């Protein structure tokens, strides 16, 4: 497997073709996806035609895009005009969007070859998808971006797109042992992406190689006037962030959160080993005071908004909804405007708190998930709570696959940065990876992926 | 005056601020625009607020855009949500668009500060605007992008946006002595730009410094799924094109066109001096056979389509239309579908002809206009015919201000490149400018601007 960045370079240099890369990806999918179930739709002919078109452009000396000829997958809540988009629900079986989501147009115009749609939990909520974890099929890949995480982890494709309203990029990336990156809220256009929560829905990227989260992030970052959370300001250059040296050693903060009793022993031990490896660069703070109520505020906003956004689907297809979605929509509809407004107020307070916070710290270092993935047979996608507060505040989040559970399942370490400072977060991530790499062979240190 | 590229660098380095640059631009406009009439709307307060916001972003260490803090102007057929867009016609007096054109969103998100709207001829057709030529107020700036060309030539702003359906970027740029660049058809999103001819309307850039046509061109180039001529392929990197060395000395072709009897003596002499300076790099071909009928085909397509696109305006406001627009719309409505289809067929043939043509040549070298600008008192905007065929075929066009008429008015030299090879065209333009610069002090050579 090669990184997307390398693939483009190899196509540019004539060392391979998009058709060869896409064919290999389709073959890997054909071999393993019957068991893995990462994909709900694969457009073999369309992808090969698109790959041939990208090769033709290259041969004729035309401009090449940042993702020229690279095979990629999209979570199936992201609209595609040439493939169904069913949002993981039988309620939307056969749904064919008229238009590509804006981020899909961006990917296509950058030369990416969209192989198909990856499995999502129904309406990107908590009922599991059919997808298994590529590291061990007995485990869940997490959710809601289950198929995107699994397809990348299985080596089908170097990169995939997912979304996160609570912890749906960071958690499955952690469980599947890949890089996960959710840019700042408002960075990526959401027009054409299923709206569950206008306040909280955020797009993210899965990748096997670190630099690829930046490569794809740069392509899909753009102002979208039709998206109320999109900001009309210059976007940071993420690839430059990845390859930058910090001016001084970055410093981190570790918040001891009230929900850290949910952390598994091996996950806590691994996190502490990472923090030890970073030596004096990590300050430990107690967060109970400032963060109490934020998890509930996130839940209230998400449930209130999704109940309203999916009200029509509930009316028309209530019998076709999965159990947790049905319960969620019923519950969300009962949340009062007052409770919602109070939660929105708490969110604004938390956003203000973090506005100056990152003057002192480069990143928050925190678990990506409670520990290893849950067993598939448990019928759950894992607890998103380790992402909740950061998603609520729209901060950019990154998980890097550097820990391993006792059962040899991957565990990620999450870094959280300042709003719209995504380049700085990725710079800090590069530094962290290099630092941990230095200590790779010492026995106390966490395993590297 | 400084280039836009330098302005961004100076803001980045803390040597100036956007507020200082924008204030200076507004002051220049206030001083000279009563006589020049390049602007139909200046949003002083809005521009200063936007400039302050860009300075604030820079001070807080946030990402800076490619046009961070640069003052810019927009032809008044390009929609802006915060300023009127009247298309140069009393028929649309007070029109306030709901949304920014996509290209305006791109400019804003790249940090550009939009000072206001520049004068256009009514509906971007042939009736003159009130604008004068900054080199000599007795002369016309040409049209239809009269104000954009004049505002740049007068040093109000480093760059401005215009459009071309026939010769409305290249001609006024030539008359006003600035660089004009019209990218390949389909390169720049047209959603939110007045539609006169869906087949022929194309967006372009005016600049005082050569590299700025590339800087702005890169920002506004993007796939637009709502624009039928927009292509979903990677866009060339224009700034890279400008700064690239050609692998070998580029070669040019000079077509002796049937309409070259319209060329003024000093323009023809200047062109021949340029060709002599390029020595053996220019091949002369006779174009009469292959190009006969193309000028008429362009006219038929433009008139047929504009009559249909503006039919509603004609119905509601026929008494408010300027003379040539009224005549145009009446005439266009009489063009038969058959005549239109035949013209479309001729256009397709011409596009096919050029598809392989640029394997052998880097660029066509050709006049940008018949000669110097017409006198303002003549009540015309000049003949667009030197652009007609290239616009018809959607080829990228560049004019560089390197000649001077006997009356000391500027005359441009036009280069035309292969479709979607805009980077190569700009690379060839860089080479040409350097080559002419070498010979600058020899008496026979054309004057440099």
The strand pair at A252-256 and A363-367 is best described as parallel
What pLDDT does residue B444 have? 46
Domain that holds residue B429: 1-449
Of A100, A109, A234, nearest to B109 by CB-CB distance is A234
**Binary contact (A234, B65; C-beta < 8 A):** yes
Beta-carbon contacts of A23 under 8 Å, excluding residues fewer than 6 positions away, are A48, A51
Q: Phi-psi bin for B200: left (phi > 0), alpha (psi -120 to 50), beta?
A: alpha
Q: What helix, strand, coil percent values describe chain B, rounded to 5?
A: 45, 15, 40
Calculate how close chain A gets to B221, using CA atoms only, in Å.
11
> How far, CA to CA in Å, does B29 sit from each of A134, B33, B51, B134, B151?
64, 5, 17, 12, 8
Q: Which residue of B has its CA nearest to A61?
A: B421
What pLDDT does residue A201 have? 98
Phi, psi (rounded to 5 degrees) for A59: -65, -30
The strand pair at B39-42 and B113-118 is best described as antiparallel
What pLDDT does residue B442 have? 52
Q: Are B90 and B179 in contact (CB under 8 A)?
A: no
Active site residue B174: no
Of B63, B99, B223, nearest to A225 by CB-CB distance is B99
Calculate how close chain A gets to B111, using CA atoms only, in Å.
6
Q: Which residue of A has its CA nearest to B226?
A: A99
DSSP H stretches of helix in B249-309: 265-277, 288-291, 294-309
Q: Are A37 and A119 in contact (CB under 8 A)?
A: yes
**Within 13 Å of residue A234, how many CA atoms lie on the same side as its CB?**
27
Which residues of A fall within a CB distance of 8 Å from B237?
63
The domain that holds B43 is classified in CATH as: 3.90.1300.10
State the DSSP string of A226-295.
Answer: TSTT---SPPP-HHHHHTPPPSS---EEEEE-GGGGGS-HHHHHHHHHHHHHTGGGEEEEE-HHHHTTHH
Of B66, B109, B235, nearest to A233 by CB-CB distance is B109
pLDDT digits (tens, 9 = 90+) for A203-235: 999 999 999 999 999 999 999 999 999 999 999
For residues A169 and A101, give the distance between their C-alpha atoms in angstroms, rounded to a whole number. 19
**Binary contact (A109, B237; C-beta < 8 A):** no
* Interface list for A 233-272 with B (CB within 8 A): 233-237
Which residues of B fall within a CB distance of 8 Å from A417?
none
Which residues of B fall within a CB distance of 8 Å from A236?
62-63
Q: Which residue of A has its CA nearest to B64?
A: A234
The pTM is what? 0.95
Active site residue B75: yes
Exactly one of B3, B89, B140, B144 is catalytic; name it.
Answer: B144
**Binary contact (B109, A232; C-beta < 8 A):** yes
Of B63, B235, B237, nearest to A234 by CB-CB distance is B63
What pLDDT does residue A448 have? 46
Please tell me if residue A423 touches chain B, with a CB cutoff of 8 Å: yes
Which residues of A fall within a CB distance of 8 Å from B223?
105-106, 108-109
Per residue of chain B (449 residues), what is the pLDDT tens digit? 799 999 999 999 999 999 999 999 999 999 999 999 999 999 999 999 999 999 999 999 999 999 999 999 999 999 999 999 999 999 999 999 999 999 999 999 999 999 999 999 999 999 999 999 999 999 999 999 999 999 999 999 999 999 999 999 999 999 999 999 999 999 999 999 999 999 999 999 999 999 999 999 999 999 999 999 999 999 999 999 999 999 999 999 999 888 999 999 999 999 999 999 998 899 998 876 677 799 999 999 999 999 999 999 999 999 999 999 999 999 999 999 999 999 999 999 999 998 888 999 999 999 999 999 999 999 999 999 999 999 999 999 999 999 999 999 999 999 999 999 999 999 999 999 999 998 765 544 444 44
What pLDDT does residue A350 have? 94
Of B100, B109, B234, nearest to A65 by CB-CB distance is B234
DSSP H stretches of helix in A333-413: 337-357, 385-393
Exactly one of B3, B18, B37, B75 is catalytic; name it.
Answer: B75
What pLDDT does residue A288 have? 66
Query: Domain tally for chain B?
Result: 1
pLDDT band at A258 (very low <50, low <70, confident <90, very high): confident
The conformation of residue B374, written as its DSSP 8-state character, comes to P
For residues A281 and A415, give the distance between their C-alpha atoms in angstroms, rounded to a whole number. 14
Please tell me if residue B406 touches chain A, with a CB cutoff of 8 Å: no
Look-up of token digits 């719309």: B329
Which residues of A fall within a CB distance of 8 Å from B111?
233-234
Q: Which residue of B has its CA nearest to A98?
A: B225
* Interface list for A 24-83 with B (CB within 8 A): 57, 61-66, 68
The two three-digit tokens of residue A137, written as one number: 């099929």
Q: Are B424 and A66 in contact (CB under 8 A)?
A: no
**Binary contact (B235, A108; C-beta < 8 A):** no
Q: Are A159 and A307 in contact (CB under 8 A)?
A: no
For residues A325 and A309, give the distance between their C-alpha atoms in angstroms, rounded to a whole number. 13
Q: If 0-12 CB within 10 Å is exposed, 13-18 middle and 19+ buried, where does residue A290 land?
A: middle
Q: If 0-12 CB within 10 Å is exposed, 13-18 middle and 19+ buried, where does residue B367 land?
A: buried
Of A100, A235, A420, nearest to B225 by CB-CB distance is A100
Q: Three-state SS for B164?
A: strand
**Binary contact (B223, A421; C-beta < 8 A):** no
Calculate how close chain B gets to A298, using CA atoms only, in Å.
27
pLDDT band at A291 (very low <50, low <70, confident <90, very high): confident
Least Cα distance to B149 among B271, B238, B37 occurs for: B37
Which residues of B fall within a CB distance of 8 Å from A63?
233-237, 420, 423
**Binary contact (A236, B63; C-beta < 8 A):** yes
Q: Which residue of A has its CA nearest to B187?
A: A109
Of B99, B108, B234, nearest to A232 by CB-CB distance is B108
For residues B159 and B1, give the distance between their C-alpha atoms in angstroms, rounded to a whole number. 11
The two three-digit tokens of residue A108, written as one number: 């296509």
User: Which of A68, A80, A109, A354 is the best residue to mutate to test the B interface, defined by the most B CB atoms within 10 Å of its own CB?
Assistant: A109
The two three-digit tokens of residue A71, written as one number: 């095979």
pLDDT band at A442 (very low <50, low <70, confident <90, very high): low
Q: Which residue of A has its CA nearest to B418?
A: A62
Calculate how close chain A gets to B53, using CA atoms only, in Å.
10
Look-up of token digits 């896409």: A22
The two three-digit tokens of residue A376, written as one number: 């598939």
State the DSSP string of A162-219.
Answer: EEESSSTTHHHHHHHTSEEEEPPTTSS--TTB--S-TTT-EEEEEESSHHHHHHHHHH
Which residues of A fall within a CB distance of 8 Å from B65?
233-235
User: Which of A67, A233, A355 is the best residue to mutate to test the B interface, defined by the most B CB atoms within 10 Å of its own CB?
Assistant: A233
> pLDDT over 70 for what percent of chain A?
97
What pLDDT does residue A444 have? 46
Please tell me if residue B105 touches chain A, with a CB cutoff of 8 Å: yes
User: Which of B46, B68, B225 is the best residue to mutate to test the A interface, defined by the most A CB atoms within 10 Å of its own CB?
Assistant: B225
Of A57, A99, A223, nearest to B109 by CB-CB distance is A223
Calculate how close chain A gets to B211, using CA atoms only, in Å.
19
User: Which of A64, A110, A234 is the best residue to mutate to test the B interface, defined by the most B CB atoms within 10 Å of its own CB?
Assistant: A234
* Interface list for A 206-235 with B (CB within 8 A): 222-223, 225, 232-235
What pLDDT does residue B438 have? 87
Of B68, B106, B420, nearest to A63 by CB-CB distance is B420
Which residues of B fall within a CB distance of 8 Å from A232?
105, 108-109
The strand pair at A39-42 and A113-118 is best described as antiparallel
Q: Which residue of B has its CA nearest to A355?
A: B60
Q: Three-state SS for B269?
A: helix
């Amino acid at each position: 497997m090669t990184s997307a960045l390398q693939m483009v370079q190899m196509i540019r240099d004539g060392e391979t073709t998009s058709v060869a890369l896409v064919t290999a990806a389709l073959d890997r999918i054909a071999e393993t996806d019957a068991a893995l179930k990462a994909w709900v739709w694969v457009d073999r002919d369309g992808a090969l035609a698109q790959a041939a078109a990208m090769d033709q452009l290259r041969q004729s000396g035309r401009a090449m895009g940042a993702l020229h000829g690279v095979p990629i997958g999209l979570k199936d809540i992201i609209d595609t005009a040439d493939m169904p988009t069913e949002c993981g629900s039988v309620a939307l079986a056969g749904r064919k969007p008229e238009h590509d989501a804006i981020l899909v147009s961006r990917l296509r115009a950058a030369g990416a070859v969209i192989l198909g749609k990856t499995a999502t939990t129904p309406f990107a909520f908590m009922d599991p998808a059919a997808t298994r974890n590529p590291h061990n099929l007995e485990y869940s890949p997490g959710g809601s971006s289950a198929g995107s995480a699994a397809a990348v982890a299985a080596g089908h494709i170097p990169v995939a797109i997912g979304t996160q309203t609570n912890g749906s990029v960071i958690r499955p990336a952690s469980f599947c042992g890949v890089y996960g990156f959710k840019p700042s809220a408002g960075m990526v256009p959401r027009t054409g992406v299923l709206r569950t929560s206008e306040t909280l829905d955020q797009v993210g990227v899965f990748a096997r190689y670190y630099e690829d989260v930046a490569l794809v992030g740069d392509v899909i970052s753009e102002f979208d006037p039709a998206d109320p959370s999109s900001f009309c300001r210059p976007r940071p250059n993420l690839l430059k962030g990845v390859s930058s040296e910090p001016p001084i050693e970055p410093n981190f903060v570790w918040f001891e959160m009230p929900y850290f009793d949910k952390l598994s022993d091996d996950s806590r031990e691994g996190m502490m080993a990472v923090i030890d490896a970073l030596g004096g660069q990590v300050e430990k703070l107690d967060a109970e005071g400032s963060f109490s109520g934020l998890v509930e505020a996130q839940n209230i906003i998400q449930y209130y908004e999704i109940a309203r956004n999916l009200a029509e689907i509930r009316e028309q297809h209530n019998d076709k909804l999965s159990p947790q979605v049905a319960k969620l929509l019923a519950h969300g509809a009962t949340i009062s405007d007052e409770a919602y407004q109070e939660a929105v107020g708490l969110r604004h307070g938390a956003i203000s708190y973090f506005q100056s916070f990152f003057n002192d710290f480069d990143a928050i270092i925190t678990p990506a998930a409670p520990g290893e993935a849950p067993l598939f047979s448990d019928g759950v996608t894992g607890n998103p709570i380790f992402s909740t507060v950061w998603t609520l505040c729209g901060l950019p989040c990154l998980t890097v696959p550097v820990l391993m559970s006792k059962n040899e399942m991957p565990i990620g370490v999450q870094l959280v940065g300042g709003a719209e400072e995504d380049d700085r977060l990725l710079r800090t991530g590069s530094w962290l990876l290099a630092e941990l790499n230095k200590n790779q062979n010492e026995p106390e240190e966490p395993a590297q992926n």
